[in-house]
Amino acid sequence: MTQDGPTSDHDRPPTLADVVACLERRYPPRTAEAWDAVGLVTGDPGQPVRRVLFAVDPTAAVVDEAVEWGADLLVTHHPLLLRPVHSVAATSVKGALVHRLARAGVALHVAHTNADAADGGVAHALADVVGLVDLEPLVALPGDPLDKHVVFVPDAHAEAVLDAMADAGAGRIGDYSRAAWLASGTGTFLPGPAARPAVGTPGVVERVAETRVETVAPRRLRERVVAAMRAVHPYEEPAFDVVELAVADRATGTGRVGRLPRPLTLRAFGEQVAAALPATEQGVRLAGDLDAPVERVAVVGGSGDSLFDAVRASGADAYLTADLRHHPASELRERAEFAATGDGVRRPFLVDVAHFASEWPWLPRAAADLRADLAATSAGGTTVDTRVSTLRTDPWTARLASPSEGPRP
């Protein structure tokens, strides 16, 4: 108790480990691309967190903002150390940032391609801010491989066996745990001469009232779940099955596809995008008939010209992304197909924006989600303040329009 009265759990700041746990529930590291580098970069998991700054890039200016504001944690979309390094000496640009963060007690956490794919992540936020509805993944992530475990247990031991399997990770479906199907029946067996049965006698046919317990578990936990079942099952040789289930795609993944509530011309949609995203020197570039209608739209935050095949397969009228290069963009437009509308216009159209601008809309949503997640726990969420950096980390500082009287090809 303090002089001001007792302190509740919600009055204590969460630890860095608490905050990271919330972030990783929203943006699971296992959904990141294999080449990516996500998660906690610097920081003591036990340190208290009162202020969290969100930004797209871990640049020197953003680190300065975090330090000057007194942030305990900086969450960025882009990694500081994407490629392996053998040194973080302050003689390098990135090493100097690591030292600056460490000296100031500012932890750094990265949510990159795992945030791209997540429900409420980068692609979802981009689709929302430009006005799309009825969203689905452009490229869905495959679901986790699942097993169905079936075990036959004497009625009196069924609950204990189910508890052990649930503790090992079985029976988790969405927000539910210990999910299982129980059915009663009769088990029969004949113990051999060398058997030491928990129930029955060697050489005598035995009949036992048993419960059939069915539950699911991630395939990666198979050995752990089976071992947990065996450890508490009363039989010398339990009867059980492990069945591999078909894997369904998740409702998350790379990019999003949705529709506009009402069709717009390509020009009007481009103007809507320009108004919704942070201003950059690039602005919005368009490829296609500016007066043609657009309704179905695919979006990918960041560099998206590797996903053209998926965009074509989605039937999108337009594709909003960033960093489009000359040759891939030209090839897509050459391969564009006439739409079912029969208007004689080739689709998909291209809507190209700055990389930074396409990813920034995620930051306010991520900050709000973190506050809500912490407040819903006993981890002191009501004490945490969040801030979204408005520093423009897009590298381009000016754009000069081509003069109208210039040479023409």
* Mean pLDDT across the chain: 92
Q: What is the pLDDT of residue 53?
A: 98
One domain for residues 127 and 84:
no
Looking up residue 309, the CATH number of its domain turns out to be 3.40.1390.30
Q: What is the pLDDT of residue 6?
A: 45
One domain for residues 191 and 169:
yes
One domain for residues 197 and 175:
yes
| Span 161-188, average pLDDT | 95
Q: What is the pLDDT of residue 345?
A: 84
Q: What is the pLDDT of residue 314?
A: 95
| Span 210-214, average pLDDT | 98
Q: What is the pLDDT of residue 161?
A: 98
Query: Does any domain span residue 407?
Result: no
Lowest pLDDT segment from 50-64, 92-106, 181-195, 330-344: 330-344
Query: Does any domain span residue 393?
Result: no
Q: Give the count of domains, the chain.
A: 3
One domain for residues 153 and 69:
no
Domain coverage including residue 19: 9-31+39-110+360-388
One domain for residues 262 and 295:
yes
pLDDT at residue 4 greater than cutoff 60: no
User: What confidence tier does 81 reach under pLDDT thresholds 50, 70, 90?
Assistant: very high
Q: What is the pLDDT of residue 32?
A: 94
On the CB side of 201, CA atoms within 13 Å amount to 1
One domain for residues 213 and 349:
no
pLDDT at residue 214 greater than cutoff 60: yes
User: What confidence tier does 2 reach under pLDDT thresholds 50, 70, 90?
Assistant: very low
- pLDDT tens digits, 273-301: 999 999 999 999 999 999 999 999 999 99
One domain for residues 127 and 213:
no
- Strand boundaries in 219-356, DSSP class E: 239-244, 249-265, 285-287, 293-303, 318-322, 337-338, 346-347, 349-353
pLDDT at residue 1 greater than cutoff 80: no
Amino acid at 18: D
State how far the Cα of 385 lies from the Cα of 374, in Å rounded to an integer: 11
The answer to whether 150 and 240 have CB atoms below 8 angstroms apart is: yes
Query: Does any domain span residue 328?
Result: yes
**C-alpha gyration radius of the chain:** 28
Q: What is the pLDDT of residue 383?
A: 81
Q: What is the pLDDT of residue 249?
A: 77
- pLDDT tens digits, 111-128: 999 999 999 999 999 999
Listed residues 353, 375, 400: the one ending a domain: 353
State how far the Cα of 361 lies from the Cα of 76, in Å rounded to an integer: 13
One domain for residues 99 and 65:
yes
Listed residues 244, 270, 298: the one ending a domain: 244
Q: What is the pLDDT of residue 393?
A: 96
Burial class (CB in 10 A: 0-12, 13-18, 19+), 161: buried
- For residues 386, 392, 395 and 400, what is the CA-based torsion angle, rounded to 10 degrees? 170
| Span 138-153, average pLDDT | 93
Query: Does any domain span residue 408?
Result: no
Query: Does any domain span residue 64?
Result: yes
One domain for residues 256 and 349:
yes
Query: Does any domain span residue 226?
Result: yes
One domain for residues 273 and 339:
yes
User: What confidence tier does 12 reach under pLDDT thresholds 50, 70, 90?
Assistant: confident
Looking up residue 178, the CATH number of its domain turns out to be 3.30.70.120
State how far the Cα of 366 lies from the Cα of 103, in Å rounded to an integer: 26
| Span 256-266, average pLDDT | 98
One domain for residues 80 and 105:
yes
Q: What is the pLDDT of residue 346?
A: 86
Query: Does any domain span residue 263?
Result: yes
One domain for residues 262 and 348:
yes
Query: Does any domain span residue 397?
Result: no
The tokens describing 67, both together, are: 């330090």
State how far the Cα of 370 lies from the Cα of 384, in Å rounded to an integer: 9
Listed residues 244, 270, 304: the one ending a domain: 244
